[in-house]
A and B are shown apart, each in its own frame.
Chain A
């Protein structure tokens, strides 16, 4: 037990010295030599703790601890037989003070895979080097500073950040460790890294590339695996990009904006560059511009890009040259969400009735938010200002519609206050969904054309000459049913169509009809007629049943047609 503590203390003091004073182990070893020889036997020589740590003795730890995935192993805290230690002292090289994490890296348990690597046996027959009951000098007792034990397994890097040089330096750079530790295995990987040998060369490489210091933190937070990528590969990829005539500044900006860029092989990047040049039909310079503006294009999958291109060509109906122009202005269209893109295009083209050439002129509308376009368009429509045709007066530029902030839009474009706009926003209801197919390639699906009914009151025939009207009047009176108070539709022969139409009559009309029929039956029984004032006049006669009857007949014909098929 004491042995363990002592070793802890040695480690701690070594750490402290390395941090505060920055001395190397060599210096520390000279410290050891200064110690009185008398202590040598009674006390475990504070031999280079780094080496102690380096000496792999994980077997005991394995036996003790559960092998779990993602376990951060404490550097060995087990009893070391003194023989191994003395052996180690012989191999004293003038190594630099390694970071605390090196031993951890050697001993990392990762599903127990490293178990096989070290076979150092724990020899149970070895006598322990010293006894726990031995007396030690006062100075040594005071020097013993038992640090807090590091947990062997942890879900958070918090427990190790104080002791780890790599993690501390990464925090100084601005790397978000709290996000990285949530990703599987990334935390263990970071602990395994040695700042001087692993991290520093890559940081220097990135700086030489031209990446700003402030961006390094962002880069590593999003792509920690850049610290494990081999330097030769990184350099080869940068050389490839330079060979493709990307300027140094653009390479630097691409790397800082697409953190995963340099993790992809040269072959893959080449494949993608070739794809974009070929598919879009752009010149080399333009392709370079597009890729430099959106370096993500070289990282992600090509399937989404292919689908988006298909949608633009087939569903939206853009021509080759139009598509080229759109992509050069807004490369994001290639990686946009399909559903949102089609929704916006559908609204712009079918509801706002903006033709293709105008959309091509202002491709930024395709990049805007659907809700924003919708609300602003409806507001302008409400104010009768929704005019997007440049040929006509009071034309509203699509660019202004979409890119201006709310206040500027209200004052400049809509000539209203922001308050009015907000009040209007609270009155918007759902709009009917239209089809998303373009006129160019598909026959435009009809919007709901409403079946217009003739107003019952206007029974205007095709020609209304005065002669014709007087003839009709004469005929009406000659027919005679108005004398007993009936209308034309009361006398219609009741076949099945008429019966159905009668069933659909509104109550009041039906009741009136019943009343008139009863009265007429009564009169015919009495062989009487109504006085002239009470007879139905030609002008009063309303063909109330006609629309219902027409509807019924139309329905019947439709049913017959369907049943024929």
Chain B
């Protein structure tokens, strides 16, 4: 017996990702989406107007005849108290939650959740999910806030920098990050299982950790411009700009960050992120459905072959799936399961 607006709202309860354009605060984006979703919800046709019954005494001519009977007639009178113009639209506020935030300078995938799915959002982000970024840097400059919009502090030459030098520096940084990952994952490296996880790249920190880059790669190098691809967790965008600055320092030069673009946030990729023309309720409903179906498909994939093979392989698959989605809860259960301990 739910009203059409409530039905639309239930369809909207889910997680979806949008592409945040650069130069705009995430809160503005969230407010815009909330307004658009409210428009969609309240656009549903209002229910039929309610009527109430009033009993009226009969007119005077009947009474004047002297009969002692009192006749009442029923009249159906509209009850205006529930008219949409009086009570207002059904929904005047919905809870739209934001996942890992993006600052004003960056752009990229931003995950949002509506209503009940905000709980799922917090679970997702507590589970050490990794994120992919594309960082565009420029050599030869240093600014106060590590990005090209800041105040210029230093200018340096960069002609001595070659691709292999840059890659060597990146390899060194990745090495130190791997060490950090091992320490923070609190896994005993002398066990076989831990080794296997490390080899596959499925280790995750246990509990709180500083920002750790699990992957770092040079995509494109044309001095002074270069592009890095980073997979990291627990990061902030400013930290990433600082990474670029440190890369510049390691190369005996300086570098600034020209752009930070998040291409993946956990299981949400940039492919399905909605651009600002599509921040409307029908598109959002479709995006939610798409995400749900993809999750179901991946779950079905990993529960299927787990019947005849041993528990180890099943755990492996689980860990694999968890690694792809960055779900460390499952990883943790894998790591602490009986086979390791006993």
Partner of B85, one of A174, A371, A509: A174
Q: Which residue of A lies closest to B64 (CB)?
A: A34
Q: Cβ of B83 and Cβ of A171 under 8 Å apart?
A: yes
Q: Which of A7-31 contact B (CB under 8 A)?
A: 13, 16-17, 19-21, 30-31
Partner of A175, one of B57, B70, B85: B85
A428: chain B residues within 8 A (beta carbon): 21-22, 107
Is B1 located at the chain interface by the 8 A CB criterion?
Answer: no
Q: Cβ of A432 and Cβ of B140 under 8 Å apart?
A: no
Give Cα A439 to B29, complex, Å.
Answer: 34
Q: Which residue of B lies closest to A178 (CB)?
A: B88
Of B118-126, B202-210, B213-221, B255-263, the one contacting chain A is: B255-263
A167: chain B residues within 8 A (beta carbon): 80, 86
A192 to chain B minimum Cβ distance, whole angstroms, is 18
Give Cα A456 to B160, complex, Å.
Answer: 9
Contact A506-B252, Cβ < 8 Å, known A171-B86, A428-B21? yes
Q: Cβ of A425 and Cβ of B64 under 8 Å apart?
A: no
Q: Cβ of A158 and Cβ of B86 under 8 Å apart?
A: yes
Q: Cβ of B106 and Cβ of A456 under 8 Å apart?
A: no
Is A267 located at the chain interface by the 8 A CB criterion?
Answer: no
A505: chain B residues within 8 A (beta carbon): 252
A7 to chain B minimum Cβ distance, whole angstroms, is 17
Contact A177-B85, Cβ < 8 Å, known A371-B276, A430-B107, A450-B140? yes
Is A139 located at the chain interface by the 8 A CB criterion?
Answer: yes
Is A548 located at the chain interface by the 8 A CB criterion?
Answer: yes
Contact A406-B277, Cβ < 8 Å, known A157-B86, A168-B80, A178-B86? yes
Q: Which of B88-119 contact A (CB under 8 A)?
A: 88-89, 105-107
Give Cα A178 to B261, complex, Å.
Answer: 43
Q: Which residue of B lies closest to A143 (CB)?
A: B57
Partner of B60, one of A31, A159, A429, A432: A31
Q: Cβ of B19 and Cβ of A425 under 8 Å apart?
A: yes
What 1/0 flags go to B59-84 for Cβ under 8 Å of A? 11001100010101001010111110
Q: Which residue of A lies closest to B156 (CB)?
A: A551
A17 to chain B minimum Cβ distance, whole angstroms, is 8
What 1/0 flags go to B6-48 for Cβ under 8 Å of A? 0000000000000101111000000000000000000000000
A17: chain B residues within 8 A (beta carbon): 56
Contact A456-B159, Cβ < 8 Å, known A171-B83, A429-B261? yes
Is B275 located at the chain interface by the 8 A CB criterion?
Answer: yes
Q: Which of A166-182 contact B (CB under 8 A)?
A: 167-168, 171, 174-179
A31: chain B residues within 8 A (beta carbon): 60
Is A563 located at the chain interface by the 8 A CB criterion?
Answer: no
What 1/0 flags go to A422-451 for Cβ under 8 Å of B? 100111111111000000000000001011
Give Cα A371 to B276, complex, Å.
Answer: 10
B135 to chain A minimum Cβ distance, whole angstroms, is 9
Is B148 located at the chain interface by the 8 A CB criterion?
Answer: yes
B21: chain A residues within 8 A (beta carbon): 371, 375, 425, 428
Q: Cβ of A506 and Cβ of B165 under 8 Å apart?
A: yes
Is B54 located at the chain interface by the 8 A CB criterion?
Answer: yes
Partner of B87, one of A30, A158, A551: A158
Is B270 located at the chain interface by the 8 A CB criterion?
Answer: yes
Q: Cβ of A161 and Cβ of B81 under 8 Å apart?
A: yes
Q: Cβ of B275 and Cβ of A422 under 8 Å apart?
A: yes
B244: chain A residues within 8 A (beta carbon): none
B85: chain A residues within 8 A (beta carbon): 171, 174-178
Is A145 located at the chain interface by the 8 A CB criterion?
Answer: yes
Is A244 located at the chain interface by the 8 A CB criterion?
Answer: no
Q: Which residue of B lies closest to A547 (CB)?
A: B157
Query: Most chain-B Cβ atoms within 10 A of its Cβ — which of A427, A429, A448?
Result: A429
Q: Cβ of A145 and Cβ of B252 under 8 Å apart?
A: no
Is A460 located at the chain interface by the 8 A CB criterion?
Answer: no
Give Cα A548 to B252, complex, Å.
Answer: 11
Q: Cβ of A430 and Cβ of B23 under 8 Å apart?
A: yes
Q: Cβ of A551 and Cβ of B105 under 8 Å apart?
A: no
Q: Cβ of B63 and Cβ of A145 under 8 Å apart?
A: no
Give Cα A62 to B77, complex, Å.
Answer: 33
B57: chain A residues within 8 A (beta carbon): 13, 143
Give Cα A45 to B80, complex, Å.
Answer: 32
Give Cα A161 to B81, complex, Å.
Answer: 6
Query: Most chain-A Cβ atoms within 10 A of its Cβ — which of B24, B79, B80, B81?
Result: B80
Q: Cβ of A504 and Cβ of B60 under 8 Å apart?
A: no
Is B295 located at the chain interface by the 8 A CB criterion?
Answer: no
Q: Cβ of A426 and Cβ of B270 under 8 Å apart?
A: yes
Q: Which residue of B lies closest to A164 (CB)?
A: B80
B39 to chain A minimum Cβ distance, whole angstroms, is 16
Q: Which residue of B lies closest to A422 (CB)?
A: B275
Give Cα A434 to B35, complex, Å.
Answer: 32
B136: chain A residues within 8 A (beta carbon): 429
Q: Cβ of A432 and Cβ of B86 under 8 Å apart?
A: no
Is B149 located at the chain interface by the 8 A CB criterion?
Answer: yes
Partner of B86, one of A161, A430, A506: A161
Is A464 located at the chain interface by the 8 A CB criterion?
Answer: no
Q: Which of B233-281 contact A (CB under 8 A)?
A: 251-252, 258-261, 270, 273, 275-277
Q: Which residue of B lies closest to A168 (CB)?
A: B80
Give Cα A177 to B89, complex, Å.
Answer: 11
A547: chain B residues within 8 A (beta carbon): 157, 159
Give Cα A547 to B252, complex, Å.
Answer: 13
A263 to chain B minimum Cβ distance, whole angstroms, is 23
Give Cα A451 to B140, complex, Å.
Answer: 9
What 1/0 flags go to B155-176 for Cβ under 8 Å of A? 1111110000100000000000
B323 to chain A minimum Cβ distance, whole angstroms, is 25
Q: Cβ of B75 and Cβ of A177 under 8 Å apart?
A: no
Is A455 located at the chain interface by the 8 A CB criterion?
Answer: yes
Is A559 located at the chain interface by the 8 A CB criterion?
Answer: no
Give Cα A30 to B75, complex, Å.
Answer: 24
Q: Cβ of B258 and Cβ of A430 under 8 Å apart?
A: yes
Is A162 located at the chain interface by the 8 A CB criterion?
Answer: yes
Is A142 located at the chain interface by the 8 A CB criterion?
Answer: yes
Q: List 9 A-B contacts (CB under 8 A).
A: A16-B54, A21-B59, A34-B64, A162-B77, A174-B85, A371-B276, A429-B261, A430-B258, A506-B165
Beyond A21-B59, A176-B85, 17 additional contacts (C-beta under 8 Å) are A16-B56, A17-B56, A139-B70, A162-B77, A162-B79, A162-B80, A168-B80, A178-B87, A371-B23, A375-B21, A430-B106, A430-B260, A432-B258, A506-B251, A548-B157, A551-B156, A551-B157
Enumerate chain A interface residues (CB-CB to B < 8 A): 13, 16-17, 19-21, 30-31, 34, 138-139, 142-143, 145, 157-159, 161-162, 167-168, 171, 174-179, 371, 375, 406, 422, 425-433, 448, 450-451, 453, 455-456, 504-506, 509, 547-548, 551
Enumerate chain B interface residues (CB-CB to A < 8 A): 19, 21-24, 54-57, 59-60, 63-64, 68, 70, 72, 75, 77, 79-83, 85-89, 105-107, 136, 140, 147-149, 152, 155-160, 165, 224, 251-252, 258-261, 270, 273, 275-277
